[in-house]
Structures are given as C-alpha cells and as structure tokens.
Amino acid sequence: MVAKSIYRIVWVLTSVELVEKEAIYARHGDSPPVTKKMLGNHPWTGKLSGKVAMVTGSSRGVGKGIALVLGEAGATVYVTGRSVRGRPTTQGLPGTIEDTAEEVTSRGGKGIPVRCDHSRDADIRHLIGVVRQKERRLDILVNNAFGGEEGRRQILTYDEVPFWKHDFDEWWYRMFSAYLRASLATTFYALPLMFKRRKGLIVNTLWWNRDRYLYDLFFDVASSGVGRMVYGLSKELHSKNITALAVSPGWTRTERMSDVPSKVLSKLQSPEYIGRAIVYLAIDPNIMTKTGQIVEVGALAKEYGFRNVDGRLIDYHGQVTKEPPAGTPPD
C-alpha cells in the first residue's frame, strides 16, 4: 500500500520512458564510458579504513545500501533501526539491523547493529553512549531514518487527499517526530563525538526535486526542513571543520516496491548508488566546499565517476528537469 503511494507521487514527476532513456544515454556515450574498474575492483575499497560511521534507518532500503558501501570502503559502521531478529519487523518488511551489519562485515568493514528508535531521545542517547564507549569517535553520520511511510493513510498527492483531511497528530509524528526531529536530535547527541577530532561529515538523506512541491504539505515541509537543517549546520559547524550536506538519491528500488511494475523496477537505481555517492563525499579532500548544500546522486556520479551497480549512469533529477511529463505543475 505504501509503495503504491510513492509510486503515484513519482509517476507524476517522471515516466517509464525517462527512466529507460537514462539507460540508453549510459550505453551510447551521452555519459562517460563504463569501465571494469567501476563494476568490479572498487576504487573506494579500504579508503575509509579506521573511520567510524553511523547510518540510521539501515535495516533495509537506502540506509542499507549506504551502510554496505561504507563497509566496502573499510569503515566500522553502526547500523541502527527498529527491526531486529526474532521480533516483527517494521510493517512486516524484510531486513533487520543484524542482517545489514553482517553484510557490512562480509564486504570488508565492521558492522555493529544497535537497535534505536530515532524518535525517542532515550534510545539515541543509549546509541551514542555505545559508540562513545567502544570507539570514542564518530567520523560520518548519515541521518536516514524516516518514519513517514508508517500510518493509516499512505502518502498521496494533494489532489487526492489535501493536508487538511489528514489526522494532524498522526502526520505530525510521521513527518516531524520520526523524520525531521529524528535527524536533528541524532545530530545533536552525536556531535560531541565529532568535536573531539574537529572533523566530520554529516549527511541527511531526503526526497528533493529541485524545489518542486512534493505533493503533500506535511511531507514537503518536513523534507524542506531536513534540507534547511544542513544549511544551518554548515554555518554553526564551519569553525569545527565539520561538513554538513544533504543527498537526494532520486527514485530508488527498495523492499517497499513489491507492487511497482517489474518493467519500472528493472530500470531503477540500486540503494548502493547513493552509498557510493556518500563514500566519494567522505574521501573527497575538498568536501568542505559542498557544506550546506543539497546534492544529487546523479550529479555526484558525473563528478566523481562512479556508476550504479549495473554500470549505468543514472541522473534522475537532471532528466526529470530536462523533460518534465505533460501536465506536471511548473513548481
């Protein structure tokens, strides 16, 4: 049900034809050629050895993809979320923090699962306490936890369900307590672990499409806040040499999309695509030049030279902006 709602929103912004064109462009030279190095012997392998990272909401989906690539780069990765083995998972979806942590380790990193509901400050403080005791540092924080898809009503476009017909308290919790506030609170409690080294990277993941309206007011305002948050952090943390930015992946294939047509799923990017983007950001010696910005995975792929796991260069944001589907509002 939830996947259908996201599918409706994205379908307004793009189409199968646009996604298919991205694959054609990658094959026929509109983008830099794919090499074996991009597909096999990863240039980022071991580049984050000795670094400590935390990826919130990484039982599955985008968070899991990010954690896995950080593991390939050799990082110690704290995998957080609410889904644990032996208990019902969030909305019955596959994946637990233990599953992700084990795969992080199998890929060359060190995965450490810690259960955490990021809408609860006590859970966050416990998590930070574990990292402080074991590592005494935190180099990379990825705020990816998102509870916005959990509720009685799915995320729909405003012409179907305008915001004033929502249950206010439920949607406030979903979009603000379990999304925007969760990111801010986790950052608040994690920062002292970065201050000791006077260096660090904070990444917020978000849905963003070059300031187009996201078709639900609660979702749009919360997502805007997640993006604006990194701008404020960039001002307050510049003297600490800590970079804060947001990364928008575009439409990504996840476990929630079981009811999306297979023709569409086969063309979507892997969750590891954004993971590769974040690893390249983490190893960029000039990363501070991007602090405060919202950056797109497709644009980063062009800049750094990485590709999706199947070798394609996918630029979701650029393609949608270039050829908006008929009937798409100009905002």
Predicted confidence (pLDDT) per residue in 289-329, tens digit: 999 999 999 999 999 999 999 898 888 777 765 554 444 44
Which range scores top for mean pLDDT: 6-20, 31-45, 78-92?
78-92
What are 202's strand-pairing partners? 141, 244
Residue 198 CA to residue 160 CA, distance in Å, equals: 48
Neighbours of 46 (CB within 10 A): 14
The Cα 47–Cα 12 span in angstroms is: 39
Give mean pLDDT, residues 222-232: 95
With bands split at pLDDT 50, 70 and 90, how would you rate the model's confidence at 255? low
pLDDT of residue 266: 77
H or E stretch at 126: helix 121-134
Would you state the pLDDT for residue 22? 39
Q: What is the pLDDT of residue 8?
A: 44
Task: Give the count of alpha carbons within 13 A of 182, CB side only.
Answer: 31
Q: What pLDDT does 246 receive? A: 97
For position 278, what pLDDT does the model report? Answer: 98
pTM: 0.83
List of residues 6+ apart from 87 with CB closer than 8 A: none
Q: Tell which residue, 224, 236, 240, has the closest CA to residue 294.
A: 224
- Most confident option among 2-6, 148-152, 180-184: 180-184
Indicate if the pLDDT at residue 192 is higher than 50: yes
CA–CA distance from 283 to each of 84, 108, 304 (Å)?
A: 31, 17, 11
Q: CA nearest 109: which of 43, 52, 55, 42?
A: 52
Query: What tens digit of pLDDT does each residue of 44-65 get?
Result: 989 999 999 999 999 888 999 9
Q: Which of 228, 129, 138, 223 is nearest to 174 (CA)?
A: 223
